[in-house]
Structures are given as structure tokens and as C-alpha cells.
A and B are shown apart, each in its own frame.
Chain A
Amino acid sequence: MADPTFLDATELVLNMGPQHPSTHGVLRVILKLDGEKVMGADCVIGYLHRGVEKIGENRTYQMFAPYVDRMDYVAAVSNGLGYCLAVEKLLSVEAPPRAQVVRVILTELNRIASHLIWLGTHALDVGALTPVFYTFREREEILNIFEAYCGARLTTHAFRIGGLQYELYDGFEERVKAFCDMFEKRVDDYEALLTGNRIWINRLRKVGILNAEDCKAYGVTGPLLRASGVKWDLRKAQPYSGYENFDFEIPTGIQGDSYDRYVVRMAEMRQSVRIIRQAVANIPAGPIMAKVPKVIKPPVGEVYVSIEAPKGELGYFIVSDGSTQPYRVRVRPPSFVNLQALDKMARGGLVADIVVIIGTIDIVLGEVDR
């Protein structure tokens, strides 16, 4: 007769709670485990939901721009770029060439900053405690450049609708060039620390594999899609803000596992330095702000504009009803859609791989929850 005190359950439900050092924010993952193998990973999000879309309906177009920085707070400049591009499309104005080139420089610096946080925290979660200090030291340089330009390090509010608010300060070009020279050597240092390291390879190879069909089916974009072999980047496919004038490559991976995503993001940092060097070499002279009325009242209509943010495709769907406040601002967050694929990537792996997978998706909860 079966022993009534023997629990015959094979599935264990483990809560990786909202407070966890490796979930990069307040993310709750409910894991269904069979011993140490993962049978399913269900995400519970919403702990950082602040109602940004509702706020958008109650502020004027210029007033809403600072709120947009708070979504992906790690890379705030791209959020601002996407929003300004969307409103400019609604108004049918284009920023002048000087503003476009400066926007490209700041957005690529912001991409490097976002990838540095990804690298530091991902390595920290896996167990490599050193790279985080070096990446944050490089990030300090970038944040100092932002601070000298627009006055804030993280929530920059750098761009305005129609162009830029601030003219470049003296010494901006020299500072950015010095940063580029210094940074390329530092990327070689990170590669020496991690790329050939056998522990790193063993932790990341064949973990969280997502092939190209699954990526397209789950709507996953950004470095995850490129690591699966699809050579697609919105800066090349549908260029915005003058990206068609710059020469850069799109790094891709082969298998779509975590190691390929690491390699793709490191190569993206080098390509960003390449773009910045080209942009800083000749910044055109001219006005920094297009002719935009003081009170912005776009005609009735709707527009969807998306950019290649460091995390994926960041889209803004803005509906205007002719008044000074938008009727609806919808933000299509890349981290929210990429996080859906966590369940697919985690099945069949071990519990320790969950931490690696959450790290390689590169989520920011401010963007997932808005």
C-alpha cells in the first residue's frame, strides 16, 4: 500500500521573487521545476507600472518629453529620440542637419552606455565580479559627456521637438574623440576578460537558444534577433535621423544562444564607436531647431514611428485629435515583447541558466511596465 506521507509530486513551483539581485529590477518569475530542470517559467510583471500612457493623455507634447526618459532609464536618450521623431512626423517637420548629426552622436553614446550596463550586470549575475567595475567606469565618462551637454546624467531630456535645445559646448568634439580612443582599448580588455574564458563559454554556450523563426514569431527584435542570424537593423532597413550617411556593419550570430548575443553586443559597441568617429569628424554648421510653433497642435491623425533602441524596436504610436494634448500615446516597449520569449528559452535548461537568460534578454523593468 502506498505510504500516505510520501509526496509523489514531481513538479516544484519556485518563486524567483520581485526582490532578487539577478532579475534586474522588480520582476517575478514563477518557475516550475522538475529537480533542477526547468519545465516552465511564468513572468509576473507590473510592479513598476506608473501609467505613462495615461499621463501622456494629460500633458502637452513638450511637457510629456521628460516622462519618456523614465521608461528605459538606462538609455534615456533613445526614448527621447523616438518620441521627438514621432511628433515631428505628425507635424511634418524635419530637424536640421546639424541637429540630426548631434542626435546620432548622443544616441550612439547612449547605446554604448546601455550595452556597458548590460555587460557589467550580466557578468555579475553569472559570477564574474570584475567587469562591472570597469564598465561602470567607462559609463561614467559617457554620463559626464551627457551632463556637460544637457545637464543631467540619466534622465537627460536632451532632445526637443524640432531639434535641440542646447548648442554644443566648447570642447565637445575633443572630449568625444578622446572617449572613442580610450574606449576601443577598453573593449579589448573586456574581451580579454570574458570572450576566451572557459568558464564564461561553458555558462553561456547553448543556453537560451532561440532560432530565427521563433524570434519572428515571438516578435523579438534587437540583438536577440541578430544573434539568431537575421541581419536586420532598423538603422539600415528604415533609416532615420541621418543614419543613411554613416557607414557601419550589422553584426550577426549563428546559433542564437547566449554566447552569440554576447558577441553581437560587443561588436555593436565597436560599430557604435565607428559611427561616432564618422559623425564627430564633420558636424555641419547651421541652426539646431526647425520652425516649430510655440504651442504644438498637430493636425488630426496618427503615426507609428520606431527606432532601433539598444534593446530592440522601440515604437511610438501617437494619435492626435487636433488639440494641444495627444489623444493617445502608445509606447511599444522592446523589453516587454522580448521578455515573452523567456518561457520558450528557459524550458529544458537548468535553474542556473534562468539567470543567464534574463541577463541576455537585457530587460529594463521601467520599460516592461511603463
Chain B
Amino acid sequence: MVKRILRSVFLVDLFEGLWVTFRSQHPKNIYTEQYPAQRPQVAERYRGAPRLNINPDNGETLCIGCNLCALACPENLIVVGTERDEKTKRKVLTTFTYDTSRCMFCGLCEDACPVDALELTQDFELASYTREGAIWDRQMLEEGPRPTSYKF
């Protein structure tokens, strides 16, 4: 009973809370990331910017033009253009359009691709100044976005 009165007169419950706050003032508890000097480390499986992979041996695209990614997309924003090569009688990729402004980054296209040509990479800096800049063509998909890097 006396303890309760003392606790309430001397504001013990408020000081307990203040002690928690003061404990976190220690410099080892600093949590802020200094972006853009330090870019955050995203995970390996992060679903970021799409990329069309290129075969490292001969520099050709890995995409076979099967259109499975376009069929899997919930928003129907992939358009794959192919033409038939007369010599090998196979489909050759001509154009590949991907609309990042409507993309949900759900990963269904990456899961559908049978040859691992379309991949969602760890790039997350996709901003552009215009609406049209968000619609990526084949060249942009193969090179990837080039965000400005800062040196401080």
C-alpha cells in the first residue's frame, strides 16, 4: 500500500518508460541508413526491375519468344514480338515491351519463364520523368536502369 503511494507520488512508472528511451540513445543503436551514400542491401530474391538476360557465351538473348510471360501476367503488360528465321525455322525475338508503370512486381512472369531469360533483379530505382519513360523496350530491359550514383 505504502509502495503504491510512493510509486505514484514519485512518478516511478513514468521514469521506467523514460529509462527505456534513454537506453536507446546509445550510439550503437543508431538505425538510420544514410541513403543515397549507402544503398540498402536487398535480398537475393528481391523482385525489382525486370531484366532480359543474355547468354554470356555468344551475346545473344536467352529469350525464345514462347510468350508464356505475357500469358501469365495479371495486367497484360508484356508484349513479345517475334519473327520466324528462315534458315533455322525457329522463332527469333524482335521486340519486347514491358510496362513498368502498371507492373505489380508479383513475379508471375519470372516464375513462368522456362529458360530464365526474364528475371526480376535487385534494382529498385526505376523512376523516370515521363510516363512514356516507364514503358521499357528491349534495349532498356537488357541494359537495366542506370540510376545516378552519388559520391560524397
Cβ distance B46 to chain A, nearest Cβ, rounded Å: 5
Given contacts A149-B45, A151-B43, contact A194 B17 (CB under 8 A): yes
Within 8 A of A (CB), among B75-131: 104-108, 111, 120
Q: List 6 A-B contacts (CB under 8 A).
A: A63-B72, A63-B74, A130-B17, A147-B43, A166-B45, A193-B17
Contact with A151, one of B8, B45, B104 (Cβ below 8 angstroms): B45
Given contacts A63-B108, A134-B24, A192-B16, contact A151 B46 (CB under 8 A): yes
Bound CA–CA A74/B42 (angstroms): 20
Within 8 A of B (CB), among A96-141: 130, 134, 137, 140
Within 8 A of A (CB), among B38-94: 42-47, 72-74
A residues near B72, Cβ cutoff 8 Å: 62-63
Within 8 A of B (CB), among A23-70: 59, 62-67
Contact with A152, one of B8, B31, B47 (Cβ below 8 angstroms): B47
How many residues on B have C-beta within 8 angstroms of the other chain's C-beta atoms? 26
A150 B45 Cβ-Cβ under 8 A: yes
Given contacts A63-B74, A193-B20, contact A148 B104 (CB under 8 A): no
What does DSSP make chain A's interface, helix, strand, loop or mixed?
helix
Cβ distance B82 to chain A, nearest Cβ, rounded Å: 22
B17 A66 Cβ-Cβ under 8 A: no
Confirm or deny: A272 has a beta carbon within 8 angstroms of a beta carbon on chain B.
no
B20 A192 Cβ-Cβ under 8 A: yes
How many residues on A have C-beta within 8 angstroms of the other chain's C-beta atoms? 31
A148 B43 Cβ-Cβ under 8 A: yes
State the A residues within 8 Å of B (CB): 59, 62-67, 130, 134, 137, 140, 144, 147-152, 155, 157, 165-166, 169, 189, 192-194, 196-199
B111 A165 Cβ-Cβ under 8 A: yes
Given contacts A151-B120, A196-B13, contact A66 B20 (CB under 8 A): no
A residues near B104, Cβ cutoff 8 Å: 66-67, 155
Given contacts A134-B24, A189-B20, A196-B13, contact A152 B105 (CB under 8 A): yes
B residues near A144, Cβ cutoff 8 Å: 43
Cβ distance B77 to chain A, nearest Cβ, rounded Å: 13
B74 A151 Cβ-Cβ under 8 A: no
A residues near B37, Cβ cutoff 8 Å: none
Please indicate which of the listed interface residues B17, B31, B43 has the most CB atoms of chain A within 10 Å of its own CB: B17
A residues near B17, Cβ cutoff 8 Å: 130, 192-194, 197
B106 A157 Cβ-Cβ under 8 A: yes
Contact with A64, one of B42, B74, B120 (Cβ below 8 angstroms): B74
B107 A157 Cβ-Cβ under 8 A: yes
B residues near A189, Cβ cutoff 8 Å: 20
* 14 further interface pairs, Cβ-Cβ under 8 Å (given A140-B31, A192-B20): A63-B73, A64-B74, A65-B106, A66-B108, A67-B74, A147-B42, A148-B44, A150-B45, A169-B44, A192-B19, A194-B17, A196-B13, A196-B16, A197-B17
